[in-house]
Amino acid sequence: MRYNWQQKDWPNFQYQTTDIEDLLFDFAQRTGRISGVLEGLSETEQTEAMINLMVSEAIKTSEIEGEYLSRNDVMSSIKRNLGIQPNLPLTIDKRAEGVAELMLAVRNGFNEPLAAQVLFGWHTMLLKGNNSVQVGQWRTHEEPTQIVSGGMGREIVHFEAPPSRRVPTEMDGFIYWFNQAQDTIKKPIVRAAVAHLYFESIHPFEDGNGRIGRAIAEKALSQGIGRPVLFSLSKSIEGNKKVYYDALQRAQRSNEITDWVNYFVQTVLDAQIDAEQEIEFTLKKTKFFDKHKDVLNDRQQKVVRRMLEEGHQGFEGGMNARKYVSLTGASKATSTRDLQNLVQKGIFNPIGGGRSTRYEVNL
């Protein structure tokens, strides 16, 4: 098997955009529309929408790699680092702290040129507290770096990256290309697609390549539109990560990458659509609390806020009496009364009946 980096034309990627010109135009249109909707929000609402999208990106980029982080831990870390709630305590989970720091670093430094030290810094943030791998440096181990699936004795090698001795030279070439491509590839979404594939094919770190590679794609998109992106690329990818890995694997067999670019463009558009819904949801949530803030007791307000933290896709499984007890510490009888009261006020919609009754917020 010959991989892309083993071929004579590496890394001269070839692709056609003929079939996706409408999608590229749609990307530009949606970018402007999202900016317009956001500008119509108050500063507080803008900040909330931005934080929710950053939290989503942090959680989903980790989930793609099989790491599941607490939403509360990630949100607390982001709010503390933004200075919104600077007195929040450090979370116990260093992974949540690290990925939150990475999200902010990518956002705040989006317009700076890429450099090895920038990537080393991102890697150090991401793998905060991890003592089992080399952190903040290119990999140096002599054994092959392989993407493998399957159990012991039944392993399937999907991709093998260049040997470690080649990594410094390959990354010098990648970083030079990335910074030059800002002027030569005029469509931000195409540059981001190539950048992500190029980086993943080198696989320069011992761990964390997928998360760093998606951060690089976000940086390319942000530079192209002149401001930090307002959507979660990783949420869109995680929604069907088998398709993502299949597309990446096929693209690493050749340096003709039209199919990969097509896949990536559609994935970004899906992320934009989700972000539009998230921003509209933020506006609805603000109006909701303005309307109902004086009729909710402290328990009810805590539960409703927790449900709405999940965004426009809703609180998984809805609310029920058992979850209400768990969230508030109230008795079952009090929880049942609170839930019935929320239905009577038109704040909750009941679904199902009997013991299986669950509730959704009526926005």
Task: Report the pLDDT averaged over residues 263-278.
Answer: 95
Residue 153 has pLDDT above 80, yes or no: no
What CATH number matches the domain at 293-361, 1.10.10.10, 1.10.8.60, 1.10.260.40, 3.10.20.740?
Answer: 1.10.10.10
Higher per-residue pLDDT: 337 or 353: 337
Higher per-residue pLDDT: 286 or 65: 65
Please give the pLDDT value at position 85: 86
Are 1 and 242 within 8 A, CB to CB?
Answer: no
Please give the pLDDT value at position 315: 79
pLDDT band at 79 (very low <50, low <70, confident <90, very high): very high
- Strand-pairing partners, residue 159, are 147
Are 114 and 120 within 8 A, CB to CB?
Answer: no
Residue 355 has pLDDT above 80, yes or no: no
Task: Report the pLDDT averaged over residues 143-172.
Answer: 91
Residue 1 has pLDDT above 70, yes or no: no
* Digit-coded pLDDT (tens) for 3-49: 999 999 999 999 999 999 999 999 999 999 988 888 888 888 889 88
119-133 exposure pattern, b = at least 16 Cβ within 10 A, e = fewer? bebbbbbbbbebeee
Round to whole Å and give the CA distance between 213 and 67: 16
Task: Report the pLDDT averaged over residues 144-171.
Answer: 91
Q: Indicate the domain borders of the chain.
A: 4-281, 293-361
Please give the pLDDT value at position 91: 86
Task: Report the pLDDT averaged over residues 186-190.
Answer: 96
Please give the pLDDT value at position 32: 92
* Digit-coded pLDDT (tens) for 305-339: 999 888 777 778 899 999 999 999 999 999 999 99
Residue 151 has pLDDT above 80, yes or no: no
- What is the CATH number that goes with domain 4-281? 1.10.3290.10
Task: Report the pLDDT averaged over residues 106-117.
Answer: 97
Task: Report the pLDDT averaged over residues 84-105.
Answer: 92
* Digit-coded pLDDT (tens) for 208-254: 999 999 999 999 999 999 999 999 999 999 999 999 999 999 999 99
Please give the pLDDT value at position 317: 85
Please give the pLDDT value at position 229: 94
Please give the pLDDT value at position 48: 87
pLDDT above 90: percentage of residues in the chain: 78
What single letter denotes the amino acid at residue 306? R
